[in-house]
Amino acid sequence: MDPTLQTFENDVWWIALIKVLGVFVLLLLLTLFTINYERKVVARMAVRPGPNQVGPKGWLQSLTDGLKLPFKEEIIPRTADKVIYFIAPVISATCAFTAFAVIPFGPVVSIFGQQTALQVTDVPVSVLVVLACSSLGIYGVVLAGWASGSTYPLLGGLRSSAQMISYEVAMGLSIVAVFMMSGSMSTSEIVAAQGDGREVSLFGLDFTAPGWYAVLLAPSFVIYAISAVGETNRAPFDLPEAESELVGGFHTEYSSFKFALFFLAEYINMITVSALCTTLFLGGWHATWPITLWSGANTGWWPMLWFLAKVLLCLFVFIWLRATLPRMRYDQFMRFGWKVLIPVNLVWILLLATVRVLQTSDLEAQTRFTLIGAAVLVVVLVAVLWPSGKKAAPAPSLAEQIAARPQGSFPLPPLDLQVPPSPRVARQVAERQPADVSSDRSEV
């Protein structure tokens, strides 16, 4: 049974408490699992064993690491702003956990005799709640970088906040298409809207194509996937933590439990964007075609399994990217976000809105085709009459470039400088010349 918004208002308080606790524990376990999963997958892709010592096949490595961290010595820099230095990791971790409250895991089930949906809560605008939580999470990063009172964390914090804000715009725009198709901003209703697939008959084989928005809104899905990687500061967009430039990024000065909180927040953010991706584009907890042949696939607790499988698949793609792609340069990254992702997204939304309006309005066929034809004509005219950029001026010569330098620039050596050979080279040349012995003797 699909949950509605009414389902959540009927929850008893202890059911809500159980669900909150359940999500908390599940997130902690998923984080521990994901760290190990990532290390093992990356290791396998790099043809090395990876962690294999602690626990069965090394699967307890992240648990022991997590237990070790709080017992380490806590070092606070003397120049730090103590209060904010303390608050920043708390903000990061809190926002990361909160965002998960509106992710649906499954349909209505029975817990201790109470009918309740497998989702902590839902509001009519719950996708906005996730976005708001992730945008509040930026404070953790930027304040951590600033409050450390140190240069590299400050630079790392600035980079990451710029990056997260930029890619959040693209992410928000890619979700707009989902809102338009489903007609709702509530996560449970978006999942329900993707539930009913269409009957497709292909080569005499009848099956139900998934009503997934990843298929229907493929451009949005691609843009969401890219901006999700940018938003979570993961490779190939992990510029805020670029080890070669910034030591460790915004958390360079953090140690012990506070560092553990940042680590936790980063992985939970990864899980959250994967879960949101599953919810918005991959059909949420609904099973896909081969499984739906079994009629009980979307009932009871089974959907939680399909949901987790989809989330793990998304996480695998994250890890795969990290193992495959080199880090981008900062200016390339920003140009890509602002000049490619956002404009493409805007055009796509306009296109989709037009199609939706044409579909829903009761226009006659002739008017409809006239409108489409007019739109195509306008696009073609704009493309043809677009002022082709002026011919680029010939590149200035070296002397002109030097003359154009502002006052107070660094001194340049003269361009026609002839470097005299160093005295040592001259001496070596002289030593190698054979002495003319015979003529010397004859004079004496």
Partner 1 sequence: MTGADVLLLALGAVAVGSGALVVLTDHLVRAGLYLVVCLGAVAGLYLVLAAELVAWVQVLIYVGAVVVLLLFAVMLTRAPIGRSEDLNRPAWPAAIIGGGAGVGLAVLLADAYRWVEVAQGPPGTAELIGEAVFRTWVLPFEVLSILLLSALVGAIVVSRGQR
Residues of the shown chain interacting with partner 1 in the complex, contacts defined by CB under 8 A: 79-81, 84, 123-125, 128-129, 131-132, 135-136, 138-139, 142-143, 145-147, 149, 154, 157-158, 161-162, 165, 168, 172, 185
Cβ 123 to partner 1 shortest distance, Å: 6
Cβ neighbours for 113, distance < 8 A, ≥ 6 positions apart = none
Based on CB atoms, which residue is closest to partner 1, 80 or 319?
A: 80
Distance CA 98, CA 92 (A): 10
CA distances from 361 to 216, 258, 353, 365, 375 (A): 20, 55, 12, 11, 17
Question: What type of residue is 375?
Answer: A
Based on CB atoms, which residue is closest to partner 1, 30 or 88?
A: 88
The two three-digit tokens of residue 135, written as one number:
């945008």
Q: Quick one: DSSP state of residue 42?
A: H
Q: Decide: 271 and 27 in contact? Cβ < 8 Å.
A: yes
Cβ 136 to partner 1 shortest distance, Å: 6
Q: Decide: 31 and 215 in contact? Cβ < 8 Å.
A: no
Based on CB atoms, which residue is closest to partner 1, 162 or 229?
A: 162
Cβ 125 to partner 1 shortest distance, Å: 5
The two three-digit tokens of residue 418, written as one number:
């002839």
Cβ 337 to partner 1 shortest distance, Å: 15
Chain Cα centroid distance, residue 227: 5
DSSP letters for 312-352: HHHHHHHHHHHHHPPPPPHHHHHHIIIIIIHHHHHHHHHHH
Based on CB atoms, which residue is closest to partner 1, 55 or 149?
A: 149
Question: What type of residue is 84?
Answer: I
Cβ 18 to partner 1 shortest distance, Å: 25
Cβ 157 to partner 1 shortest distance, Å: 8
Based on CB atoms, which residue is closest to partner 1, 49 or 124?
A: 124
Q: 3-state secondary structure string, 342-398?
A: HHHHHHHHHHHHHHHHHHHCCCCHHHHHHHHHHHHHHHHHHHHHCCCCCCCCCCCCH
Helix (H, G, I), strand (E, B) or coil at 281: helix
> Residue 249's beta-bridge partner residues?
none
User: Is 438 buried (19+), middle (13-18) or exposed (0-12) by CB count in 10 A?
Assistant: exposed
Cβ 225 to partner 1 shortest distance, Å: 21
Distance CA 134, CA 268 (A): 11
How many CA atoms within 13 Å lie on the side-chain side of 200? 10
Cβ 344 to partner 1 shortest distance, Å: 20
Cβ 43 to partner 1 shortest distance, Å: 37
Cβ 193 to partner 1 shortest distance, Å: 15
Q: Quick one: DSSP state of residue 293?
A: T
Based on CB atoms, which residue is closest to partner 1, 170 or 311?
A: 170
Based on CB atoms, which residue is closest to partner 1, 119 or 184?
A: 184
Based on CB atoms, which residue is closest to partner 1, 83 or 437?
A: 83
Based on CB atoms, which residue is closest to partner 1, 309 or 350?
A: 350
Based on CB atoms, which residue is closest to partner 1, 185 or 297?
A: 185
